Structure 1
Amino acid sequence: MSFKTFQVPLSSAPELCKLGAAELIAQFRSGALSPVEVTQSVLQHAQEVQARFNAFTLIDHQGALDLAKASEKRWGQGAPLSPIDGVPTTIKDLIWFKDRTIRYGSLTSASEPCADDAPCVRNLRANGAVFVGVTTSPEMGWKAVTDSKAFGITRNPWHPEMTAGGSSGGAAVAAATGAGVLHVGTDGGGSIRIPASFCGIVGHKPTFGVVPAYPSSAFGTVAHVGPMARKVEDVATMLSAMSGRDLRDWTQAYQTVGDFQLKDAQLAKVRIGFWSTPPGGHLDPDVSLAMNLAIDRLRSAGASIEPISLPEEDVHAVFQAHWFAGAANRLSPIASAHYSDMDEGLVHVSQSGARMSAPELVAYQVRRANFGAAMDRMLSQLDVVISPAVAVLPFQAGLEVPSGSGLERWTQWAGFSYPLNLSQQPACVIPCASKRLDSGSLLPIGLQIIGARGADAQVLSIARAIERMDLEHIFV
């Protein structure tokens, strides 16, 4: 198992676009590189990525260069703001970005610029991040693939006929291709982790509330904000920069850790639960094979691994009730006359959510609470749980479900993702294998590491230890 497998989309990028945050900071400190020249290279490359894969709704040339010049001045004075000062960063098209228009992937959204930054953007800006653009999302972030009537289809850089996943699909493509180093994603049912797996990058859904959110998500407390990048180290650095307490977010715990220092995790001492069967049981044989091979390698490294199952028989129904009710909430201010301009699937699930009675929804909320408590108890006995990131391989772009699968909604193939949105534990996806197609193309397969609430640093440290394993490539 070697993560060098996942360099194909990055191979055509300019050399400056291949550097991670720590590498850039070292170059800025020595004076070998400047934030301005790096930003110029990334902006030019982002245009090429956009033409091929449609990852952006905005490439902000002037805004990025202005921020890069300010960063260059700070570095010249020996006074950088943080370990990400001058590092190219993108924002998802669901996150407020001051003085820029955020469209939520929708033809029905307002075209006025945002009056303020969302908390995570404000925190990143205060740390000197250089915002190069806004990345694509499906309409309102409602599904786990990225296409919309407003901005079209976002394509997988490993195989452009395939989906990049979603809803943070544009961010994942930008990361995989080097069109930026740090990328803000959101995750209400897998929207960071699914595209991370499909595009062969790292994506982390933090413990709920670690990264503050404002405005509050219409989908409620299943919705998380988190970092995406090519390396675990960059994800951890970005999480430290974007997290912290923000008084606009009432759902945050009153104390929020803001430093996610990685430690050297010894896999021989790690207690791992292996979750191998998603809700509904639909699992691609190639994904299953890749995970079993990866688990064998972890056992050979000395990790203690035991099989586990979820403590809720019908977690799919519990999540679907929350998600569909959230969709109904999101569409409630929009006149039905505009529904024809919207994604038909979004309209359909919102109508399903609107038919739910208040007692039904509260009953599902109680089931969620019971599930979350049971997950807390299980993770109190383990260091982490490991699972496939996604039950299926990347499939045809423009579809919600794999062709011929008999599935109807994305939730039916995202069963390794959304339970962790209900229970709010941190979960990090890293690349672990790839499917070799007859054409010679590769499709990435991701591994998910899940920890107890608040254990983000431990999850990321173990993720980095697996990332660093000097093992042979896994191909299936």
Structure 2
Amino acid sequence: MLNVIGRYDYRDPYATRGQPEDWGEELGQGLQGLRIAYSPDLGYARVDRDVAERVRAAAHKLEALGATVEEVDPGFESPLDIFNKLWFTASLAVYDGMDERNRQLLDPGMVADARRAEQWSALDLFCALRGRARLTQQLEYFNQQYHLVMTPSVAISPFELLHNVPPERDMRDWEEWAPFSYPFNLSQQPAASVPCGFTDAGLPVGFQLAGGKHDDARVLRVAHAFMEAYPARYPAVPNPYQSG
């Protein structure tokens, strides 16, 4: 799919030149020579025990496949405020551009986030953009020492449908259970989520691999190697329609 859509197009203001001819060109090359920084929590996230244990085991498996894996944190504070300033301001732009009938169709959580941005100024937005640039600089510097950063994909086990946050947890918004996504969204670094096991309750767990800017092929290489060596084996689920 990337070989079709991952191409420069002047109509896309975010498109870049210089993509590989084949996004899968590094698949099958093995992991020897790759340095992976394994960060259990990026220094600030709270991760459920089951999730943390499965991801740590996956780090050992990557090491067994030939990569050098070191437990280390990139050394930045949570950029949640930076992300919220940008995300909520964008949500407000969408909200303001709608008539009342369409506003009624929006997700209530999205509306609440948009309304929070009404109190912010242009200076707040500029400071968030400056913070984003600094974060990108920090992560790009970190990637001069390591080829990839490994974290949990999310901090908690899956929860019930139709909820933005687990009903039994003291969380307000989804960013709190997905603290590993938005840092790399902000820095525009490619990342992939790789399945790596199940909790004691049989719920899926994944780890995230993030590369430096435009290192998509390397991210795919490591994700592919892991999934080839350790394919997901889903636990048996009783069939409620089977008698006996």
Q: TM-score range by the shorter chain?
A: 0.7 to 0.9
Amino acid at match of 1:247: Y
Q: Is the 8 A contact 1:279 1:316 kept in 2?
A: no
Q: Report the equivalent of 1:449.
A: 209
Q: Report the equivalent of 2:238.
A: none
Q: Report the equivalent of 2:10.
A: 247
SS at match of 2:203: strand
SS at match of 2:223: helix
SS at match of 1:260: coil
Q: Distance in 1 between matches of 2:232 and 2:84?
A: 39
Q: Is the 8 A contact 1:265 1:461 kept in 2?
A: yes
Q: Distance in 2 between matches of 1:340 and 1:279?
A: 39
Q: Report the equivalent of 2:173.
A: 409
Q: Report the equivalent of 1:115.
A: none
CA gap 1:474/1:387 in 2 versus in 1, 3 angstroms: farther
CA gap 1:474/1:265 in 2 versus in 1, 3 angstroms: farther
SS at match of 1:348: helix
- Paired positions, count: 234
Structure 2: runs of 5 or more not aligned: 236-244
Q: Report the equivalent of 1:367.
A: 131
Q: Distance in 1 between matches of 2:232 and 2:100?
A: 55
- In the TM superposition, residue 265 of structure 1 has moved relative to its aligned partner by 3.1
Structure 1: runs of 5 or more not aligned: 1-237
Matched, 1:312 2:85: no
Amino acid at match of 1:240: N
Q: Report the equivalent of 1:418.
A: 182
Q: Report the equivalent of 1:192.
A: none
Q: Greater strand percent: which structure?
A: 1
Matched, 1:466 2:226: yes
Identify which of structures 1 and 2 has the higher relative contact order when contacts are C-alpha pairs closer than 8 Å and 6+ apart: 2
Q: Give TM-score, length-normalised by structure 2.
A: 0.87
Q: Report the equivalent of 1:430.
A: 194
Q: Is the 8 A contact 2:43 2:73 kept in 1?
A: no
Amino acid at match of 1:390: V
- In the TM superposition, residue 339 of structure 1 has moved relative to its aligned partner by 3.2
1:31-50 equivalences under 5 Å are none
- In the TM superposition, residue 421 of structure 1 has moved relative to its aligned partner by 0.5
Amino acid at match of 2:125: L
CA gap 1:464/1:249 in 2 versus in 1, 3 angstroms: same
Amino acid at match of 2:194: I
Matched, 1:262 2:25: yes
Deviations 1:357-379 (A, max 9, x none): 00011011001001001111111
Q: Give TM-score, length-normalised by structure 1.
A: 0.46
Q: Report the equivalent of 1:197.
A: none
Q: Distance in 2 between matches of 1:343 and 1:297?
A: 40
Deviations 1:204-250 (A, max 9, x none): xxxxxxxxxxxxxxxxxxxxxxxxxxxxxxxxxx1112111111112
Q: How big is the alpha-carbon RMSD for the aligned residues of Structure 1 and Structure 2?
A: 2.2
Greater shift in the superposed pair: 447-456 or 465-474: 465-474
Corresponding residue to 2:63 among 299, 321, 326: 299
